[in-house]
Amino acid sequence: MAKVLLFTLCVTLILPRVESCFIPRFLSVEVPQAIPREYEITRVDVSNCDGSSVRLTVTDPSFTVMSSGAIVASTAVYVGGSGRTFSVRARDDAGPGSEMEVHLVASTPAWRPSPKKSQDFLKRSKRRWGPAPFNILENDHAPFPKDIDTVASDSAAKQDVYYTISGPGVELNPVGVFSLDRDTGMLRVHKAVDREKFPTFTLRTRVFSKATHKETDLFFDIKVIVDDKNDNAPQFDSPLMFTVLEQSKPGTVVGKVNASDKDEPGSLHVKIKYSLKNGLDLFAINPVTGVITTVTNTLDREVKDKHLVTVEIRDMQGAVTGLFNTATATIAVGDINDNPPTFTKAAYTASVEENVQDKLLLRIPVEDKDLVDSPNWISKFVITKGNENGNFRMERDPKTNDGLLYVSKPLNHELNPKVKLEITAQNTPNGTLIGSYTALDPETKSGNGIKYYKVSDPALWINVDKNTGELKVANTIDRESHFVHDGIYNITVKAVDASAKTATGKVIIVVEDVNDNMPTVPISELRMCEKPGELGSVVVVAEDKDESPLSSPFTFSMPTDSDGQWSVVKLNDTAARLQHNKELPTGMHSVPVEITDLQGFGKTQMVPVRICQCRNGVCLDQERSTSLGSMGILAMLLPLALLLLLGLLLGLFCMTQREKLKVDDIGDSGGIILKSNTEGRGDEVDVSLLPLSSYNGDEVTKGSVKGVMSSGYPGLNGMSTVGGLNTTDNWMYKSGADLQYTSQIDAQYASNYEGQLVGSGVNFDNGHLLQGSSFLHNWEANGLYLREKLHYLGTEEDGCYAEDINHTYGFEGVGSAAGSVGCCSDFGDGDNLDFLNTLGPKFKTLADACQKT
């Protein structure tokens, strides 16, 4: 029995892949040698693709492919002799897509042959070569080098030649971009080029005979154009800061976004599309011009005073492949007078005594939601009822915007014990009717059919109704604006009838003043010359943009918390003198001064005052130049160099010092240098003039010494000369604090002068004075006096003998008001005692000193 085997075959069928979006694989197109911008090359057949989802891209940035399949040159393109090739890719949502290679073929030669020479020329001219400009793509990718095209001279047909090239891109900056094959004439590029730096190159080409090395043709300049690639995103040229008034009508211009692109001008690479990414419920932007406008009239500053909107700028006219940047635009909402002032209470009660005037009765607060301190916030108070006799007046507090009710005329209780006033608070809102300007037809005596147009309104403050000629407030009117002159603001209105006849007139608007400005000091710096021993001052001048009585006369005062270094004195209605109360250092001082106008409106101003050293009334710092130059810099560095040198010298001194010198302290010298090395002879003294006194030779040893003696320190010898002799005064301790004084004449000197003194009664014995000589008696008498003086100094306190010895005083730099009080300061008749009746300050000073002694 035969067995039957059953097999199960699994067959996998491999089917060819079918592309959902199919375009031809290759396309050759004949085009002009120089393709202009926006030139349509050809159209790609995309009928096999899904039209709703097809996406076409091109590899060459010099061309753009539209969704319809049209291939357009986005910039001027030159097609060389070898043509130009790029690819187009197509894809839809159904599959992977396909790619087509596009090859451009120039319809004319890459270079033109030389024209035939006329036989009528007497002189033969050289033959010419004329290749058209070559094109390369900026920032092209590797590998390099790449062939551009071949240059050829007509002379190459008859002889063997070679070529050379020179210029920017070869041996000049940027070096090494191009090369030329000397045998074939092939021009090559060796590196990427940035078009924004080098948009074109002009290369000089020469041809030479290989046999003679002489030029066979005139040189020719080849132009290489760098085709733009979209490699630069657009940039914002200015900050995005704008302001628009609240409640502006839709379509009101907010501002313009300015942007630029560094790519080739005029190409799609620089065609920017503007768009907003948020805030579309309030604002819109023109995609071509970048002008931002409002789309609603609901902007309210009191709700939100600032809006942040994201702006995008994208090149390639906003294509998804375009490069882009974004930035945040800040749109501030300006204030208009759209909120009236409101009272916080409906009624107030106040009382006043009769026969009282100029008294504040009541402060009435108001609220205004407009911008604080702006003209839209300032209130005007009017008594509309109850003030028929003019007994009251209303003013405004400039700081708080409150209404102030004053009694201006005395009241009589018997005539009217109770007064009821009605007060309104108002300001000038937008849309307020301030008048009308109408015209009449001289023939019909009627204004029917006449239209009114505003010709000039410098500050845009007034709106003119087209049909009625009514004038309404368009924005807050500011009297201090430069558009207002002497309180007058002018606009020009034109009236046009049905037959187009026109008439022009000027409208004069009188602007009333309100106290919306405070006094200020306009100068940036006041200068004060420093004068030793004197307190200087400067004049402070203030100004107020308001008119009287809302401005001057001003009040100048120092703040209550001032430090007392400065004071201010009013000079006139607008100026005051600012002076310092004590000496201050030179430099800048910021002085607080409170300045208010006649209505008390003002604040504390910081007045800058510079105290400086002057020459001829001009600050020295004004004469100095702020430009140092090289010598000035060297002068600044010189002290640093000297300091460094001093440090080196000190270091060297410390390193080379080997021993220390010890200086003995010889006591207090009174702060001066004492000269103690006198070696010359002393002054000659007539010994006969020395006073004689009895001396019994007793030894004085009593008393103790306090202080320092002028002849030397205790225990030291003091040298002196008398009559040409050297004598020695010896002070020596005997027991404890007791001190003994002896005096003798040096024997050597005595022997030298013995012959001279014999005639004077001085006796010597081997160079020593004899006891019985008169000279010795005189000398011993002096010694007795000194011993008695020493005893006196040793037994009394400091306060007693301090008047009899020399003292050292510190000099303070100021002389005595009495001058000198010496014995010889005044000379007069000694016999006449009348001067005792007219003794001056010198005597009193001397008398005081004597009384203390």
Instruction: Give the CATH number for residue 364.
Output: 2.60.40.60
Same domain, 363 and 329: no
Same domain, 347 and 266: no
Which pLDDT value is given to residue 670? 47
Supply the DSSP string of 588-633, one letter for each residue: EEEEEEEEE-TTS-EEEEEEEEEEE-EETTEEHHHHS-S--HHHHH
More confident residue, 93 or 42: 42
> Among the three residues 181, 199, 227, which one is the final residue of a domain in this structure?
227
Whole-number Å distance between alpha carbons of 777 and 789: 18
Same domain, 59 and 96: yes
Q: What mean pLDDT do residues 536-547 have?
A: 89
Q: Is the dihedral of CA 519, 522, 524, 527 positive or negative?
A: negative
Same domain, 541 and 576: yes
Same domain, 537 and 469: no
Residue 13 in domain: no
Residue 670 in domain: no
Q: Which of 434-438, 652-656, 819-823 has the lowest mean pLDDT?
A: 819-823
Q: Which of 153-167, 295-309, 529-543, 712-726 has the lowest mean pLDDT?
A: 712-726
Token pair listed for 172:
């000049």
CA atoms within 13 A on the CB side of 402: 12
More confident residue, 726 or 588: 588
Residue 611 in domain: yes
Whole-number Å distance between alpha carbons of 530 and 182: 84
- Give the Cα-Cα-Cα angle 217, 218, 222 (nearest 5 degrees): 110
Reported as a single tens digit per residue, the pLDDT across 465-487 is 988 899 988 877 888 888 998 88
Judged against a pLDDT cut of 80, whether residue 355 lies above it is answered with yes
pLDDT above 90 covers what percent of the chain?
26
Q: What mean pLDDT do residues 704-712 have?
A: 34
Which pLDDT value is given to residue 754? 45
Residue 641 in domain: no
Q: What mean pLDDT do residues 408-420 have?
A: 87
Judged against a pLDDT cut of 70, whether residue 823 lies above it is answered with no
pLDDT above 70 covers what percent of the chain?
70
Helix (H, G, I), strand (E, B) or coil at 79: coil
Query: How far, CA to CA in Å, does 692 sit from each of 256, 782, 784?
Result: 119, 8, 11
- The pLDDT confidence band at residue 572, using thresholds 50, 70 and 90, is very high
Strand partners of residue 236: 259
Q: What mean pLDDT do residues 664-678 have?
A: 50
- The pLDDT confidence band at residue 134, using thresholds 50, 70 and 90, is confident
- The pLDDT confidence band at residue 133, using thresholds 50, 70 and 90, is confident
Whole-number Å distance between alpha carbons of 48 and 92: 10
What is the DSSP secondary structure assignment for residue 16, as one 8-state letter? Answer: P
C-beta separation of 135 from 156 below 8 A:
no
- The pLDDT confidence band at residue 700, using thresholds 50, 70 and 90, is very low
Judged against a pLDDT cut of 80, whether residue 540 lies above it is answered with yes
Reported as a single tens digit per residue, the pLDDT across 722-780 is 444 444 444 443 333 344 444 444 444 444 444 444 444 445 444 444 444 555 666 66
Which pLDDT value is given to residue 56? 83
> Among the three residues 404, 426, 448, which one is the final residue of a domain in this structure?
426
Judged against a pLDDT cut of 80, whether residue 253 lies above it is answered with yes
Token pair listed for 237:
């040229």
Judged against a pLDDT cut of 90, whether residue 648 lies above it is answered with no
Reported as a single tens digit per residue, the pLDDT across 337-354 is 888 899 988 899 998 888
User: Residue holding tokens 């202009």?
Assistant: 36
User: Residue holding tokens 């009746």?
Assistant: 837
Which pLDDT value is given to residue 475? 77
Whole-number average pLDDT of the chain: 76
Judged against a pLDDT cut of 70, whether residue 110 lies above it is answered with no
Which pLDDT value is given to residue 125? 38
Domain range for 136 is 127-227
> Among the three residues 281, 302, 334, which one is the final residue of a domain in this structure?
334
Same domain, 240 and 290: yes
Largest CA distance in the chain: 195
Q: Which of 118-132, 181-195, 554-568 has the lowest mean pLDDT?
A: 118-132
- Type of residue found at 310: T
Q: What mean pLDDT do residues 649-673 have?
A: 54
Which pTM was predicted?
0.43
Which residues lie closer than 8 Å to 600 by C-beta, 6 or more apart? 398, 555
The count of other CB atoms within 10 Å of the CB of residue 796 is: 14
Which pLDDT value is given to residue 155? 86
C-beta separation of 346 from 302 below 8 A:
no
Which pLDDT value is given to residue 793? 61
Closest CA to 594 of 570, 615, 624: 570
Same domain, 305 and 397: no
C-beta separation of 590 from 526 below 8 A:
no
Whole-number Å distance between alpha carbons of 659 and 419: 106
C-beta separation of 54 from 115 below 8 A:
no
Q: Is the dihedral of CA 774, 777, 783, 785 positive or negative?
A: negative
Q: How many domains does the chain have?
A: 8
Q: What mean pLDDT do residues 282-309 have?
A: 94
Same domain, 174 and 241: no
C-beta separation of 108 from 31 below 8 A:
no
Rounded (10°) CA dihedral 691, 693, 696, 698: -60
Same domain, 422 and 443: no
Provide, for the chain, the percentages of residues in helix, strand and coil under a 3-state DSSP scheme, each rounded to the nearest 5. Answer: 10, 35, 55
Same domain, 418 and 441: no
Which pLDDT value is given to residue 632? 57
